[in-house]
Amino acid sequence: MTPSETDPTEPLSAQEQQEQDELATRGELMLRKGVAFETLNKRIARLAIALGLELDTDVGLREALEPVDPPSPHAHAFQEELRGLLTLRYQMEKQLVDEVGSEAMHRMVLEVEQHMERMGFKPGVDGIHEHQLFDAGI
């Protein structure tokens, strides 16, 4: 044990300080990415609700991703935005797994999904199929 591990008044070594700084930076990064991921999922959920799409099924996801002739120009804009955001989220998921690993990504997805449920969103409304996402390993 180093003196700094046993005596909190001892200054940290340069290496220990660097390790603490890296952990703090990683924690900050994960927090920011988690907030961005949740914001994206909420917008996806709201668009799906507005369009009457059920993204909690594979059929609903397929419908959201396939171009269709919506009943109005307004619905067309929502459909295009939804398709783009779903694509962006899949890219973000892949990047996050590469950056932080699947375990950290899994924890983030669980936290976001649980928070969204507490806010009143039904499970899967944002198109996250958590069991498929992590069973398949992205």
Q: How far apart are CA 61 and CA 58, in angstroms?
A: 5
Give the tens place of pLDDT for each residue, 32-74.
Answer: 889 999 999 999 999 999 999 999 888 888 888 887 776 788 8
| pTM of the shown model | 0.77
> According to the model, what pLDDT value does residue 138 have?
46
Kindly tell me if the per-residue pLDDT of 104 is higher than 60.
yes
> According to the model, what pLDDT value does residue 82 have?
95
Give every CB contact of residue 9 below 8 A, 6+ residues apart in sequence: none
Q: Give the residue extent of every domain in the chain.
A: 33-135
Average pLDDT along the chain: 84
Per-residue pLDDT band at 116 (split at 50, 70, 90): very high
Find the Cα–Cα–Cα–Cα dihedral 106, 111, 114, 118, rounded to 10°.
-170
The dihedrals phi and psi of 50, each to the nearest 5 degrees, come to -60, -35
